[in-house]
Chains A and B, each alone.
Chain A
């Protein structure tokens, strides 16, 4: 167990270092940090002093070590466009993305499981078949088209839901949440549905397959023979047995939600970190871009590491193999 964990940590560190190197190269060689910080009328001597202060005249490896040192402390410098510390920008926008991902994950799990159970129980009903076919088509559609379709239907034609922004927010001290007001929910529901659709289909199909298998097993037959009600059999006994694979897959796919949140945020102009990154690309705001690269790498490395550890904890076969 210990050796395995060390190996995994080692791999994660290598990935992080590789991404840090790319971020640093971007930081060091693209754009001129000095002219992006000062006004037009700064003299060459003053610029040279700032260069020296920023450590831009240091040797390459010292700059890289400094960069990592600062990054570990969460210091990514000033954004060239927003003229604010990058850390502050991320701190204000990351919760927005996380809230969106959180709501999407809940939707995908909740609705996906419910529909999965229903399509398994009523497997020959026409609506179950229709749902399965539609879900197949839905999976092969690009996310942004689904978003545009929802906006057109619910905002343009029906006028029920707002199409952009996150609505009214409430300051919780650590971050501003939009999940405590009806307006916030009205704003988050379409982005969340768009983002969760793919995941929901996965969960639906997985739960359905697992349920169909479980319903064939002896303990379900026995539960029925004991005269338990159909509901108890389905939800207490059968569903519980499908949960382990579903939770693992869903956990693994949280990363996908984070990745696809960039697209959803663009379609709905939802002000999270993904939208910030795309804006930074358009404006060549290098500090923001390099910080975003590190942030994304950290999120994915962390998720993968956690899932691996979880696998390890759940599956005894893995433990015996390595020891």
Chain B
């Protein structure tokens, strides 16, 4: 086992993908930046200089400017918000929320879309027609709008149920993250379905699928064990770009006030909070979370672009 693992690793290290990666300084930088964001999110409790729970905030520290400015305090390198929350620590925790929502939303949309896409491609006929018409209909609307409408509608339903006392003990704030994941994931499935269906149709014409059918393997097994692994390339590409889109969608919805609540803020929520202080000159509350968001989105986007070119056989030399 160990030996095959090692040789697999060697095959991977010797592949076109790795070679193309080594030749692209932009992709390497973007990967390093993304990994840094992941590390920060993962280690947030360990590396945050301050606790950001409401209980340990001191209003006396409120609206401290960044450390290098005139009234700055070295204890708060990037300053604080109106409640005295350290911006740097808040960004660390917020990138955690943003990444969790982003990954979970893409994962949800991907599983749903790929499953439906393979089923549509494999069975064809009316199954195909129903699934793809559904995808077409949803694609009539931009995905950010779909996510916004779903999140907005679910939010008001939950608020209403809580007000009428039907749902007790649950407020929208508790479930906001899940609502966002489902809303963004649902808004994104047609892209995965289209790609998966198209690639499935190509694979179905190949000998190995015919062989598997002749062997009498059940349809589910052929779809999962034989077709699915061959779709991984294109799906990986749209999943990477989808991650950037999902992070943007989450930030946008949170900024619009239908996303993650201020109690457990994401980068978008932090920007929403900071935006109210922009006019009184407290620029740091907005700027630093915004920079964090831009870094994250831009580097994931660059990786996605590179991956698309690297996996595209037409561009391979």
Any chain A CB within 8 A of the CB of B153? yes
The 8 A CB mask of A258-288 against B (1 = contact, 0 = none) is 0110110011000000000110111010100
Q: Which residues on B sit within 8 Å (CB–CB) of A260?
A: 142, 144
Secondary structure dominating the interface of B: helix
A286 to chain B, nearest CB (A): 7
Any chain A CB within 8 A of the CB of B92? no
Stretch of B11-19, B54-62, B286-294, B308-316 contacting A (4+ beta carbons < 8 Å): B286-294
CB distance A278 to B252 under 8 Å? no
The 8 A CB mask of B122-160 against A (1 = contact, 0 = none) is 000000000001001100111011001100110111011
Could you tell me the distance between the alpha carbons of A259 and B139 in the complex, rounded to whole angstroms?
13
B142 to chain A, nearest CB (A): 4
Q: Which residues on A sit within 8 Å (CB–CB) of B275?
A: 148, 267
Q: Which residues on A sit within 8 Å (CB–CB) of B223?
A: none
CB distance B140 to A259 under 8 Å? no
- Among residues of A, the one whose C-beta sits closest to the C-beta of B139 is A304
Q: Which residues on A sit within 8 Å (CB–CB) of B298?
A: 137, 140-141
Secondary structure dominating the interface of A: helix
CB distance A30 to B258 under 8 Å? no
Any chain A CB within 8 A of the CB of B297? yes
Size category of the binding interface on chain A: 35 or more
Known contacts A145-B290, A284-B160; is-contact A11 B133 (Cβ 8 Å): yes
Any chain B CB within 8 A of the CB of A296? yes
The 8 A CB mask of A144-159 against B (1 = contact, 0 = none) is 1100100110011000
Could you tell me the distance between the alpha carbons of A145 and B288 in the complex, rounded to whole angstroms?
12
CB distance B160 to A140 under 8 Å? no
Q: From the candidates A148, A151, A282, A284, name the one contacting B257 in the complex (CB within 8 A).
A: A282
Q: From the candidates B142, B153, B164, B278, name the one contacting A148 in the complex (CB within 8 A).
A: B278
CB distance A148 to B271 under 8 Å? yes
- Among residues of A, the one whose C-beta sits closest to the C-beta of B291 is A145
Could you tell me the distance between the alpha carbons of A143 and B290 in the complex, rounded to whole angstroms?
12
Q: From the candidates B133, B155, B281, B297, name the one contacting A142 in the complex (CB within 8 A).
A: B297
B2 to chain A, nearest CB (A): 42
CB distance A145 to B294 under 8 Å? yes
B166 to chain A, nearest CB (A): 11
- Among residues of A, the one whose C-beta sits closest to the C-beta of B281 is A156
CB pairs A–B below 8 angstroms (6 shown): A255-B142, A259-B142, A262-B148, A278-B256, A296-B149, A300-B140
Having A14-B137, A137-B298, A142-B293, one finds 12 other A-B pairs with CB under 8 Å, namely: A11-B133, A15-B137, A26-B156, A144-B252, A145-B290, A145-B294, A156-B279, A256-B142, A266-B255, A284-B160, A300-B140, A301-B140
